[in-house]
């Protein structure tokens, strides 16, 4: 490849800017011309493409959001939209692209690859729901934000002897709830991957309160349902006053942690090197510290394995 492009797509995540920076600077370092597509696949269709230089990605490694902006683009799901996108790249002789995004973005990347554009996917999502990588770009920061919020909630819940239901993002994946719950010492973690019994949860909580516990933190992954509904069900069973906090998009903003910056930088550079080698249709990830490239086809057709060991550990430690 001689000319490559980069875009960010789907829900943004902290570290996307660091990944864009890595793709641009690594591409330029290797003598490529590098272009940026604005607003994800929508910009590809609308031909919103500009050339980047070293300075275009200055002062962004520490910033949340994405300077390239993002969109969830329905038109790119159609064969006509995909062809138009590929044509807009070809007319500038751009023959490679790095797509930074989650599950939906990968579907689009797969299509571009099948239309002959050399394509690499980078897992950019707070949800950590992409298989064939241990971790996605943004997950570490999102979990840190949730942990910080739970620390604060714990203070006020203890003062009032209440229970706190915290609803977190993650779409169909319970990883944000699991990692943040374990890291913050939550009493209960509800995830879509594991069935649960509200009667058991309510009576355990009542038992804990009668033995002197002054608060109870219940982390609910959004894939399980609404925090409001869970809180009402538990309160109906044990009468302990509950408050609900929905953390929402707070989880997607703010400066990326150093882990996310390092991950994004490594993966961005890896994707460029893979394109230079002539590789295409791959998702770049990290497994046990090793950078790996896996067929996007395989990635979009697999499900991320839930870490039951960690879940059981969180349970054992939250007595």
CA–CA gap between residue 112 and residue 280 (Å, rounded): 10
From the list 55-63, 119-127, 183-191, 258-266, the region that binds ligand F6P by CB under 6 A is 119-127
Q: If phi over 0 gives left and psi between -120 and 50 gives alpha, with beta otherwise, what is residue 254? A: left
Strand order in the sheet with 188-190: 188-190, 216-221, 163-168, 242-246
Alpha-carbon distance values, 222 to 38, 169, 192, 248, 253 (Å): 30, 5, 8, 10, 18
- Both tokens of 39, joined, read 């607003």
Interaction of residue 252 with ligand F6P, rule CB under 6 A: yes
Separation CA 95–CA 5 (nearest Å): 8
Does 125 engage in binding with ligand F6P (CB under 6 A)?
Answer: yes
Dig out the tokens for 309 from the structure. Answer: 């060991």
Q: Catalytic pick from 93, 95, 127, 297?
A: 127
Does 64 contact ligand F6P by CB under 6 A? Answer: no
**Beta carbon nearer to ligand F6P, 12 or 187:** 12
Of 45, 97, 157, 169, the one binding ligand F6P by CB under 6 A: 169
Q: Which is nearer to ligand F6P, 94 or 142 (CB)?
A: 142
Which residue from 8, 32, 127, 190 is in contact with ligand F6P, where contact means CB under 6 A? Answer: 127
**Interface with ligand F6P includes 281 (CB under 6 A)?**
no
Of residues 35 and 76, the one with the C-beta less far from ligand F6P: 76
* Closest to 311 (Cα-Cα) out of 189, 132, 209: 189
Q: Does 42 bind ligand F6P (CB under 6 A)?
A: no
Q: Which stretch binds ligand F6P (CB under 6 A): 86-94, 165-173, 186-194, 308-316?
A: 165-173
Nearer to ligand F6P, 7 or 57 (CB): 7
Q: Flag whether 222 is marked binding.
A: yes
11 is a site residue for ligand F6P (CB under 6 A): yes
Q: Is 260 a catalytic residue?
A: no
Residue 70 in the binding site for ligand F6P (CB under 6 A): no
Q: Is the CB of 185 or the CB of 253 nearer to ligand F6P?
A: 253
Q: Interface with ligand F6P includes 102 (CB under 6 A)?
A: yes
Least distance between ligand F6P and beta carbon 170 (Å):
5
User: Inter-axis angle of helices 79-90 and 103-114, to 10 degrees?
Assistant: 70
Summarize as ranges the residues that interact with ligand F6P (CB under 6 A). 11, 102, 125-127, 169-171, 222, 252
Binding residues for substrate: 125-127, 162, 169-171, 222, 243, 249-252
| Binding site feature residues for Mg(2+) | 103
Catalytic residue list: 127
């Amino acid at each position: 490849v001689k000319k490559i492009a980069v875009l960010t797509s789907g829900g943004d995540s902290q570290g996307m800017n660091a990944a864009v920076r890595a793709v641009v600077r690594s591409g330029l370092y290797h003598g490529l011309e590098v272009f940026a597509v604005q607003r994800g696949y929508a910009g590809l269709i609308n031909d919103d493409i500009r050339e980047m230089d070293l300075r275009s990605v200055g002062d962004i490694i520490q910033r949340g959001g994405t300077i390239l902006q993002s969109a969830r683009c329905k038109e790119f799901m159609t064969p006509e939209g995909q062809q138009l996108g590929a044509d807009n790249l070809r007319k500038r002789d751009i023959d490679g692209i790095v797509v930074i995004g989650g599950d939906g973005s990968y579907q689009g990347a797969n299509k571009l690859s099948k239309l002959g554009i050399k394509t690499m996917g980078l897992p950019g999502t707070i949800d950590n729901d992409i298989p064939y990588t241990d971790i996605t770009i943004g997950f570490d920061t999102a979990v840190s934000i949730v942990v910080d919020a739970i620390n604060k909630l714990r203070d006020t819940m203890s003062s009032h002897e209440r229970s706190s239901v915290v609803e977190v993002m993650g779409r169909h994946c319970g990883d944000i709830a699991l990692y943040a719950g374990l890291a913050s010492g939550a009493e209960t973690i509800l995830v879509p991957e594991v069935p649960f019994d509200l009667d058991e949860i309510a009576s355990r909580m009542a038992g804990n309160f009668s033995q002197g516990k002054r608060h109870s933190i219940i982390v609910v992954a959004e894939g399980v349902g609404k925090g409001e509904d869970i809180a009402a069900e538990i309160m109906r069973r044990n009468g302990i006053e509950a408050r609900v906090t929905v953390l929402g998009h707070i989880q997607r903003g703010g400066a990326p942690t150093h882990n996310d910056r390092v991950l994004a930088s490594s993966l961005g550079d890896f994707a460029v090197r893979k394109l230079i080698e002539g590789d295409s249709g791959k998702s770049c990830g990290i497994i046990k510290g090793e950078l790996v490239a896996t067929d996007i086809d395989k990635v979009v057709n697999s499900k991320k394995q839930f870490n039951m060991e960690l879940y059981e550990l969180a349970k054992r430690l939250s007595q």
